[in-house]
Amino acid sequence: MSSTDDKPPPLSIQDINNIITKLRNLLTSDCAEAEIAVATNTAANNPTGNEQDGSNRTGNEQDGTNKQDGDANQAQETNDEKKEPLYELGKLCKELDYMIRSFQELENLKNSLREPFETLEANVNDIVSDLEKDELRKQVHHNLRVFRNNITRVKILILLQLQAASINSDGNRALQTTFATGEAGDLPHLYGEHIFENSYYFKEIEEKYEGLDVRQKLCLLCFSIFPENAEIKKRFLRFWWVGENLIARNGKDEMGDLNDTLTTFVEKRLIEPVLKKNRLQPRSYKVTPIVRSCLIHFAKKEGFFDYDRDGKPIMDFSSCNKACMVKSERATASWFADYLKGNDKDGNERATASWFADYLKGNEQDGNSEKPKEQERHQEQGKLLQGKLSADLVKLQMLFNFPHENTLIRASQQIDKLQTLFNLSKQFPDLPTEWFSKMTGIKVLYLGRWEATAGQARHIEVEDIEFLKGFKNMKNLRLLSLQGISGIPKLPTTLCKLENLRILDLRACHDLEKLPDRIGSLKKLTYLDLSECYLLDYIPQQLNKLSELQVLKGFVILEAKNSCTLDDLSELPSLRKLSVNVNTTKFNIDEAGDALAKFQKLEKLRIAWGWGGMPGKEDSTLDSSSEQQQSKTKKKQASSISSAAAKASTDKVNKGEDKGNRERSAVAAAGEANSKTAKLGGGLRRTANIALMAKKWRRLSMKEREPQNLEGLERLVKLDLQCFPRSEPPTWLVPRKMKKLTNLSIRGGRLGYLNHEDGQKWNADTLRLKFLVNFKTNWKEMQQRFPNLKYLENLRCPRITFCPCDANGVWQKFVQSK
């Protein structure tokens, strides 16, 4: 028998618990017996009488008494020496009791973590099984993310178990996650827990937070208002931080400052980048549940936002200058419900005597205030004292659902100090016109959609745009976002009075049809997003007056009279990024090169052809005219020959002419038909020649009209063409004119090739080709023409052959080098 067989089996937690319990019982019984023995000895050694009659004793008696006292003291010392081990044993019993409780808690922890660990084991098995199957390897990345999330949840459960007396029975629900549904419950609640705030995890994150400067702290606290595991777009963070004036200060580069801040947070592991398929750089970020709980604590402490006891942001801005519009999950405030029911008709005296009287006392204790403001307060309070809320206050209460009457009054008095209003989950963000016009101190107004979800987007709608006229008083507004809001067909002219506006986000405003004519008045505007505004049919020419505009997305090329054109946009001196949607067939991509060559700082360009911009039958008719004419000629030739033969066989038969005459007639008819066919064939050739000559003339004319100043084209770093309508590329899309182009993307359309003049090579290192049915090339040619290529994406391009792409259609040079 081997030595390993003689080794006893390991003890379980229950076995250890039983052993410690036996030791504790043994020590307890020994301590009890020892205490009884010590008490007996102490009673025997003590004198029987306690009378203090030493004054009546003789000298000998006094000496005897002193001797007895000495013996008693010696016995007491002996008893103390015997009791000292008992005290030690008592301490050991207490420590054993603590060990018993600790091991009992470990046993509870083991039982509570049984299912979570089974989930982790299932995760590992799924990952291993998917690695063995080539067709399921793309699922491995998803499984790894789920596995990492489950490990984080287990760590949180262990943290709570080791420091709490008992475990929350609902804590395991977070681990009930399946790969089929991808649904996960909420993690255990950490915010506000004293145990968590004293933990190592909290102290570590707090130390990292304190190591940031003031600007970085404010940027980080912005993550605290979002739901758990929410993905926050980098673009949205840029909007918010610019609106709060947290980045691009003192003339710094906006994107550089943004990237540096996010990189700092990632390196400190305060946020996590969300890396998605076929993306070289992250476009979204999120925070772990532990970090989010810490950020809520910091934000609450700094007065950044106000939160409820569960750590969710609330709409109450009475204690801070920022507020979130959230979907109300609680019932209408009881006091307001009673008011709506008419229960407060006779309660004027009660209202005056209770909460409003306290409110007045609070104001008196705060010292003297300005008389005009005090008079306004009394006027608002008088409205309540009359037993009827004003219409303005009713609207404000219905929107924010304040829990108390005094909170409503306090918020109504300081709405002019509100600096940030953010729509977190509200579906109908209509603001009362009276209160909207009072937001004179607002800097960030984000009423639209912020989510980065790939599923169904949250529907946001306004019933009336009358409240938007309050823009005229918002002189400090820097960020305005109406993204994804339906029901806005046009914007009021008061929008043009926002003299400090930096960012205007109108993305996915599907009902928007027109922009204000005086939009050129927004002299400080740097970012304008009109993407997915499909009904937009007019863009004013004053758009070229935005001298500081750097990014313009969703610009539409239309046939509307006096609408802004590419030539008009070329006058923008600061424009770096442009996104164009073509909705007219009159747009000529070759002629657009003249306008593009005039841009001064344009670096990124995207041109997409919509349904209105696809050519009708002009090019297709020109290219296929010869085929159609040839088919018509064949039909005419066949009909001519058949008619001639019929005429030869029947003509003059009834007149009794001889065979020779019939043969001569047949030959003559056939000759006549052949002569007609020859004429038609000549017409066919002439038509085909005309088509070819027209195509060559068009190329030559475009070549002669090439822009002499190529600086605008040479500055392009990124070019994206979508649904390109021709098989021939633009005449200006050649390596000679695109010297700085590093990123080329062509998605959809009819393009069949790229031009290469005199063997010149492209400098692009990133190439994306998607859904190009006619595009023809191979891997060898691609390497020759793109020698600096590092990233290739080839998706559903059947005529691009021999490319070493993976299952996702991606090839990366650094992966191959490994």
User: pLDDT at position 477, please?
Assistant: 95
Measured CA to CA, the distance from residue 16 to residue 808 in angstroms comes to 54
Pick the closest to residue 172 from 146, 150, 190 (CA basis).
Answer: 150
pLDDT at 45 over 70: no
**Which pLDDT tens digit goes with each residue over 203-255?**
999 999 999 999 999 999 999 999 888 899 999 999 999 999 998 776 668 88
Torsion of CA 368, 371, 375, 380, to 10 degrees: -60
For residue 413, with 0-12 CB atoms within 10 Å meaning exposed, 13-18 middle and 19 or more buried, which class applies? middle
Position 629 in a domain: no
Task: Report the C-alpha gap between 492 and 475 in whole angstroms.
Answer: 16
Of 607, 608, 600, the closest CA to residue 715 belongs to 600
Among residues of the chain, what percentage have pLDDT more than 70?
64
Whether residue 771 lies inside any domain: the answer is yes
Residue 559 lies inside a defined structural domain of this protein: no
Write the CB contacts of 98 (distance below 8 Å, at least 6 apart in sequence): none
Residues 28, 275: Cα–Cα separation, whole Å:
61
Query: Three-state SS string across 752-779, please?
Result: CCCCCHHHCCCCCCEEEEECCCCCCEEH
Q: What is the mean pLDDT of residues 631-637?
A: 47
Which of 377-386, 397-406, 585-594 is predicted least confidently? 377-386
pLDDT (0 to 100) of residue 818 = 40
- Tokens representing 524 are 């400080």
* pLDDT, averaged across the chain: 75
Per-residue pLDDT, averaged over 185-192, amounts to: 56
Highest mean pLDDT out of 379-388, 450-459, 727-736? 727-736
Mark whether 213 and 299 lie in a shared domain. Answer: yes
Distance CA 485, CA 507 (A): 9
Residues 146 and 231 reside in one and the same domain: no
State the Cα–Cα distance between residues 732 and 710, nearest whole angstrom.
9
Among 563, 548, 614, 657, residue whose Cα is nearest residue 748:
614
Ranges 183-197, 461-475, 715-729: which has the least confidence: 183-197
Cα distance between residue 726 and residue 589, in whole Å? 10
Backbone dihedral angles phi then psi of residue 211, each to the nearest 5 degrees: -80, -5
Count the residues in the chain.
818
Q: Work out whether strand 460-461 and strand 479-481 pair parallel, antiparallel, or are unpaired.
A: unpaired
Q: Do 444 and 519 reside in the same domain of the chain?
A: yes
Same domain for 501 and 596, yes or no, is: no
Residue 21 pLDDT exceeds 80: no
Number of domains in the chain: 4
Confidence of residue 177 (pLDDT cuts 50, 70, 90): very low
Same domain, 200 and 141: no
Residues 598 and 734 in one domain: yes
CB atoms within 10 A of CB 459: 11
Residue 258 has pLDDT above 70, yes or no: yes
**For residue 131, what are the CA distances in angstroms to 124, 134, 605, 718?**
11, 7, 40, 36
In eight-state DSSP terms, residue 279 is -
pLDDT digits (tens, 9 = 90+) for 704-749: 455 556 678 899 999 999 999 999 999 999 998 898 999 999 999 9
Identify whether 345 is part of a domain: no
Evaluate if residue 323 carries a pLDDT over 80: yes
What letters, b where the CB count within 10 A reaches 16 and e where it falls short, cover 477-515? bbbbbbbbbebbeebbebbbbbeebbbbbbbbbebbeeb
Distance separating alpha carbons of residues 756 and 735, to the nearest angstrom: 7
| Range of lowest pLDDT (148-152, 156-160, 283-287, 612-616) | 156-160
* pLDDT(5) > 60: no
Least confident of 65-74, 335-344, 403-412: 65-74
- Distance in angstroms (rounded) separating the CA atoms of residues 424 and 449: 8
For 690, other C-beta atoms within 10 Å of its C-beta total 13
Three-state SS annotation for 179-248? CCCCCCCCCCCCCCCHHHHCCHHHHHHHHHHHCCCHHHHHHHHHHHHCCCCCCEEHHHHHHHHHHCCCCC
Place of tokens 């000895």: 41
Q: Check residue 416 and report its DSSP letter.
A: G
Q: pLDDT-derived band of residue 68, with 50, 70 and 90 as boundaries?
A: low
pTM for this predicted structure? 0.66
Q: Would you say residue 817 has pLDDT above 50?
A: no
**Sequence letter at residue 784:** Q
- Does residue 716 belong to any structural domain of this protein? yes
* End residue of a domain, out of 504, 534, 564: 534
**Mean pLDDT, residues 365-370:** 42
In a domain, 333, yes or no: no
Do 150 and 292 lie in one domain? The reply is no
Task: Return the axis-axis angle of helices 13-45 and 59-112, rounded to nearest 10°.
Answer: 170
Is residue 65 scored above 70 in pLDDT?
no
CA–chain centroid gap for 418, Å, is 25
Give residue 223's domain range.
Answer: 187-313
Average pLDDT over residues 53-61: 45
pLDDT of residue 564: 92
Q: What is the DSSP string of 40-51?
A: HHHHHHS-S---
Question: What residues pair up with 460 in beta bridges, in sequence order?
Answer: 485
Pairing type for strands 577-582 and 604-609 reads parallel
| Domain end position, chosen among 108, 134, 168 | 168
Q: Are residues 293 and 402 in the same domain?
A: no
Which residues neighbour 687 within 8 Å (Cβ) at sequence distance 6 or greater? 625, 626, 629
**pLDDT band at residue 502 under the 50/70/90 scheme:** very high
Count of helices and strands (H, E) across the chain: 25, 21
Q: Does 761 reside within a domain?
A: yes
Q: Which of 763, 782, 785 is closest to 717 using CA atoms?
A: 763
Domain at 529, CATH number:
3.80.10.10
pLDDT surpassing 80 at residue 791: yes
Res 706: pLDDT = 52
Question: Would you give the DSSP letter of residue 162?
Answer: H
- CB 456 within 8 Å of CB 488: no
799 and 745 housed in the same domain: yes
Determine the residue type at 471. Answer: F
Of 614, 327, 362, which Cα lies nearest the Cα of 459?
A: 327
- Verify that 192 and 299 share a domain, yes or no: yes
Q: Which has more pLDDT, 285 or 105?
A: 285
Tell me what pLDDT residue 259 has.
93
- Pair (143, 247) in one structural domain: no
Measured distance CA(773)–CA(42) in Å, rounded: 106
d(C-alpha 163, C-alpha 8), whole Å: 33
Determine phi and psi for 530, rounding to 5 degrees. -115, 20
DSSP 564: -
CB 626 within 8 A of CB 599: no
Distance, CA of 72 to CA of 80 (rounded, Å): 12
For 95-145, how does the pLDDT look when each residue is reduced to its tens digit (9 = 90+)? Answer: 677 777 777 777 777 777 777 778 888 878 877 777 776 666 556 777 777
One domain for residues 202 and 275: yes
Contact residues for 148 (Cβ-Cβ < 8 A; gap 6+): none
Q: Which residue is associated with the tokens 């504790």? A: 24
- Among all chains, which residue has been given the structure tokens 């073509």? 582
Pairing state between β 791-795 and 810-812: antiparallel
Q: How far apart are CA 697 and CA 617, in angstroms?
A: 19
Q: What is the mean pLDDT of residues 422-439?
A: 87
Domain CATH for 276: 1.10.10.10
Does 332 reside within a domain? no
Position with higher pLDDT, 312 vs 266? 266
Start-to-end CA distance of the chain, whole Å, equals: 50
pLDDT in tens, 575-624: 999 999 998 888 999 999 999 999 999 999 999 998 877 776 444 433 44
Q: Using CA atoms of 310, 314, 319, 320 in order, give the dihedral in degrees to the nearest 10.
A: 110
Average pLDDT of the residues in 283-306? 90
Tokens 């081990």 sit on residue:
85
Average pLDDT over residues 34-51: 52
Confidence of residue 181 (pLDDT cuts 50, 70, 90): very low
Domain end, chosen from 265, 281, 313, is at: 313
pLDDT for 40: 56
Question: Between these two residues, 141 and 816, which has the higher pLDDT value?
Answer: 141
Q: Which amino acid is at 635?
A: K
